[in-house]
A and B are shown apart, each in its own frame.
Chain A
Amino acid sequence: MDDIVLETRGLTKRYGGVHALEDANFILRKGEHVAVVGDNGAGKSTFVRQITAVEQKSAGQIFFDGREVNFAGPLEAREAGIETVFQTLALADDLDVPSNLFLGRELFRFRLGPFSILDRKAMRERTLEALKTTAVKIPNVDNPIRNMSGGQRQCVSIARTAAFASKLVIMDEPTAALGVQETAQVENIIRGLKERGVPLVLISHNLRQVIELVDRIVVFRRGRIVASLRKDETDGNDIVSYITGVKGGQDAA
């Protein structure tokens, strides 16, 4: 019981009549990497948005780090130690890499309310450090990120998450728009998290990736969790049959 990092009980989200997420019971243990898979519209992103309080849940409970939490917004979730890479990039295109990494949690040389003086040097150094530990290669961190490739931007987003990762990392389809090499880079970051013992919820359509990287696979279908499969007890075909509904009539955890 003590080694549970994140638990949801009966987590439910409805948009008007749409039951996007129904009665999700989910457990993530210390150091564990879990994949969330399922068809488009299965409710995976909705599940993430409830945990990170981007939206307010319709029903259910969330336990994080040993206590029940009711975050008022994404900042509270982040302050509690949940770092998220959202499916839609949450980056400011006109800012450079350090500014994006430290957006909303800048380092200061001198505190003066809203006019606090930024410690640009420290932020730049820590950015280079973070990029190094995550093995992300960004040639010139001082350029605005708008002209970087989709992959590089995604890497910035992931480096931000990994650099500040304390208790839990959630990634919503981090490699969906990436090329082969960029995908490999992201997968390396994920392996780095595993080595550091940072727990992860990875949403992905890439079953090869999922089987390679994570310990356990949770399948969503039509807003419900229909299976929780240990990596060594399943394979691609098995997972697909749960995704498509050939297997798994009733809920699992």
Chain B
Amino acid sequence: MSEASHGLGGLKYDPRKKERPQELNVFLALVVIVVAFELIGRLFLGDSFLFNTRENVDTLFNNQRLSIIILQVSIVGIIALGVTQVIITGGIDLSSGSIVGVTAMVTMSFAQTAMVNGNPNPKAIFGEGLMDLPILVPVLVGLACGLAAGFINGALIAYTRIPPFIATLGMMVTARGAAKWWSKGNPISFPTEQYAAIGQGMNPVLIFMALAILFHCVMTYTRYGKHCYAIGSNEAAARMSGINVNAHKVLVYTIAGMLAALAAVVLSSRNLTAQAGMGVMYELDAIAMAVIGGVSLAGGRGSILGTVLGALIFGVIISGFTFLKLDAYYQEMVKGVIIVAAVVLDQWRQRGRVRG
């Protein structure tokens, strides 16, 4: 038997070669983008993007910029972890931004302090009895909100066979409405000190990283992760193999909802206030992070690591534009272009794989 005989019709497939992981490409893209900003900065602005140029600070890197990059993507990054799991199963979640909104509102009303500067809280939602509660109460209430919203998404998608796009679009509108209805459009402020501490400093980054590691392990080493990939890859085969696809979908969307709720807790704590408009468009940013990170909208491929790298690319680009002193309008437009570009790239990769 000759060596080159496996395969049908001249397919290119070198069996010994382990495929280059997608994440490596994403990482290289990240490096290229950082270098590009560095060069543009040096050439046109006489400033460094990455390194410290101030005399009065004694660090190699521009730590301030680096921490802003990672801070500003951490909260949406938490959402993106859930969105990644949803997309890997072949679904989509458009409701996460609105879940952030409604969860922030509900959670904050259980996190209020009774006295502000010696006076009764002017923004009080509930009476005295429901104020100054231990921190566990608002956090659990928040998680319950996300759990309920995600469960409804999942149940609709799994058992009524509504396309995920439509089901989560419905949740997106409904949850946003609920966020506005909750306090008749008023912001809710003055959380307890304990609650306010959750999102301060670099805590969002730590929470994001801890969750990223947790879900990396879940997606890599558990049955749950394996079945996410299996369902996204070939749902019919997954069913035939005896995987309970419906139950799995409910679980995936529920986890995504709870991660959006966690993001809401961190965000409202950091801002010390909750507003009905919180989290608008976060769903798209989260999807963008995943797609940039190599998660395929066709399902079955991508990883948590990829999404974390995608989030970093996202953050670098936003701060790069600020660094180049470009208008916020351009930032929005470029964000749109990046999302489309990432999807086009994914389509290309797909086409490259079509068998004869």
A residues neighboring B (CB under 8 Å): 54, 73-75, 78-79, 86, 88-95, 99, 103-106, 108, 112, 114-118, 120, 137-140, 142-144, 146-152, 177-179, 181-182
Q: Are B8 and A179 in contact (CB under 8 A)?
A: yes
Q: Are A106 and B223 in contact (CB under 8 A)?
A: yes
Our pick among B16, B221, B233 for the contact of A92 (Cβ within 8 Å) is B233
B236 at the interface (CB under 8 A from A): yes
Q: In the complex the two chains form, what is the Cα distance from A93 to B229 in whole Å?
A: 9
For residue A94, which residues in chain B have a CB less than 8 angstroms away from its CB?
Answer: 229, 232-233, 300-301
Q: Are A92 and B300 in contact (CB under 8 A)?
A: yes
Q: Are B226 and A149 in contact (CB under 8 A)?
A: no
Q: Which listed segment binds A: B41-49, B238-246, B276-284, B327-335?
A: B238-246
Q: In the complex the two chains form, what is the Cα distance from A148 to B14 in whole Å?
A: 9
Q: Are A114 and B8 in contact (CB under 8 A)?
A: no
Closest CB-CB distance, B194 to chain A, in whole Å? 30
Closest CB-CB distance, A151 to chain B, in whole Å? 6
B18 at the interface (CB under 8 A from A): yes
Our pick among A95, A106, A146, A151 for the contact of B7 (Cβ within 8 Å) is A151
User: Other CB < 8 Å A-B pairs besides A90-B237, A94-B232, 4 of them?
Assistant: A79-B242, A86-B240, A117-B221, A144-B19
B57 at the interface (CB under 8 A from A): no
Q: Are A149 and B6 in contact (CB under 8 A)?
A: yes
Interface-centre pick from A54, A104, A177 (highest chain B CB count, 10 A): A104
Closest CB-CB distance, B86 to chain A, in whole Å? 16
Closest CB-CB distance, A148 to chain B, in whole Å? 6
Q: In the complex the two chains form, what is the Cα distance from A5 to B353 in whole Å?
A: 42
Our pick among A105, A114, A152 for the contact of B251 (Cβ within 8 Å) is A114
Closest CB-CB distance, A34 to chain B, in whole Å? 23
- A sample of 19 inter-chain contacts (CB < 8 A) reads A54-B240, A75-B241, A90-B234, A92-B229, A92-B300, A94-B233, A95-B226, A99-B226, A99-B230, A106-B223, A115-B224, A117-B222, A139-B16, A140-B15, A147-B13, A147-B353, A148-B13, A149-B8, A150-B355
Q: In the complex the two chains form, what is the Cα distance from A74 to B241 in whole Å?
A: 8
Q: In the complex the two chains form, what is the Cα distance from A75 to B227 in whole Å?
A: 16
Q: Which residue of A lies closest to B12 (CB)?
A: A147
Q: Are B18 and A143 in contact (CB under 8 A)?
A: yes
Q: Are B241 and A104 in contact (CB under 8 A)?
A: yes
Q: In the complex the two chains form, what is the Cα distance from A139 to B141 in whole Å?
A: 52
For residue A114, which residues in chain B have a CB less than 8 angstroms away from its CB?
Answer: 222-224, 227, 248, 251
Closest CB-CB distance, B285 to chain A, in whole Å? 25
Q: In the complex the two chains form, what is the Cα distance from A119 to B7 in whole Å?
A: 30
Q: When A92-B233, A94-B301 are in contact, do A106 and B226 touch as well, CB less than 8 Å?
A: yes
B218 at the interface (CB under 8 A from A): yes
B119 at the interface (CB under 8 A from A): no
Q: When A92-B233, A117-B222, A143-B19 are in contact, do A149 and B11 touch as well, CB less than 8 Å?
A: yes
Q: In the complex the two chains form, what is the Cα distance from A182 to B6 in whole Å?
A: 8
Q: Are B234 and A147 in contact (CB under 8 A)?
A: no
Our pick among B11, B17, B238 for the contact of A104 (Cβ within 8 Å) is B238
Our pick among B6, B8, B242 for the contact of A137 (Cβ within 8 Å) is B6
Give residues 219-268 of B contacting A (CB, 8 Å). Answer: 221-224, 226-227, 229-230, 232-234, 236-243, 248, 251
Q: In the complex the two chains form, what is the Cα distance from A225 to B7 in whole Å?
A: 36
Q: Are A74 and B233 in contact (CB under 8 A)?
A: no
Q: Are A118 and B226 in contact (CB under 8 A)?
A: yes
Q: In the complex the two chains form, what is the Cα distance from A99 to B222 in whole Å?
A: 12
Closest CB-CB distance, B5 to chain A, in whole Å? 6
Q: Which residue of B lies closest to A145 (CB)?
A: B233
